[in-house]
């Protein structure tokens, strides 16, 4: 039973996923700091204080914090846009540049040395001038 668990853990995709989650969490901290430290103050400088936490809705004694939800939505949109424009778009451009062009297809015809017409590559004699082709 333990050998099966060991094989499961040591499979490449499980280890890759674990590394991806750890790196993703670390990168999430970087993006959150970037958003809180740079983008949110920039938005505040342009359009006023971007804080909706004071918006609440009360219904039968229950308090609905609509402002907190709006803050989370705005933060998500800012983080998603930042990730897309600063990470995804440059990576796609880099990947497109590094992608090699497909190899040209093998030729299927050749030119006759006498009449310069196109003949199949396996032909031993030209169909147009009847010249023997090496």
Q: For residue 131, give both structure tokens.
A: 């010249």
Q: How confident is the model at residue 12 (pLDDT cuts 50, 70, 90)?
A: low
Task: Give whole-number Cα distances, 19 to 12, 16, 31, in Å.
Answer: 11, 5, 18
3-state secondary structure 91-132: HHHHHHHHCCCCCCCCCCEEECCCCCCEEECCCCECCCCCCE
What is the torsion angle, in degrees rounded to the nearest 10, for the CA atoms of residue 67, residue 21, residue 82 and residue 52?
Answer: 10
Residues 89, 110, single domain; the answer is no
| Segment 45-73, tens digit of pLDDT | 776 766 667 778 888 888 888 878 877 78
Q: Report d(CA 8, CA 129) in Å as an integer.
A: 68
- Looking at residue 77, its pLDDT comes to 83
How many separate domains does the chain show?
Answer: 2
Question: pLDDT higher for 55 or 26?
Answer: 26
| Segment 77-86, tens digit of pLDDT | 877 887 788 8
Residues 23, 6, single domain; the answer is yes
Q: Is the pLDDT of residue 108 over 80?
A: yes
Residues 40, 72, single domain; the answer is yes
- Indicate which CATH number applies to the domain containing 50: 1.10.1200.120
Report the alpha-carbon angle 24-25-28, nearest 5. 85
Percent with pLDDT over 70 in the chain: 93
Residue ranges making up the domain that contains 113: 105-134
Q: Report d(CA 25, CA 41) in Å as an integer.
A: 23
* H/E segment holding residue 64: strand 62-64
């Amino acid at each position: 039973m333990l050998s099966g668990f060991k094989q499961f853990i040591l499979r490449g995709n499980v280890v890759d996923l674990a590394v991806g989650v750890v790196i993703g969490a670390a990168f999430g901290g970087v993006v959150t700091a970037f958003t809180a430290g740079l983008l949110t103050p920039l938005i505040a400088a342009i359009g006023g204080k971007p804080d909706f936490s004071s918006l609440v809705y009360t219904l039968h004694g229950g308090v609905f914090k609509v402002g907190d939800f709006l803050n989370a939505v705005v933060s998500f949109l800012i983080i998603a846009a930042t990730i897309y424009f600063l990470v995804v778009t440059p990576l796609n451009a880099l990947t497109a540049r590094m992608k090699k062009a497909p190899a040209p297809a093998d030729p299927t015809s050749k030119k006759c040395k006498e009449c310069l017409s196109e003949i199949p590559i396996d032909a031993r004699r030209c169909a147009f001038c009847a010249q023997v082709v090496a």
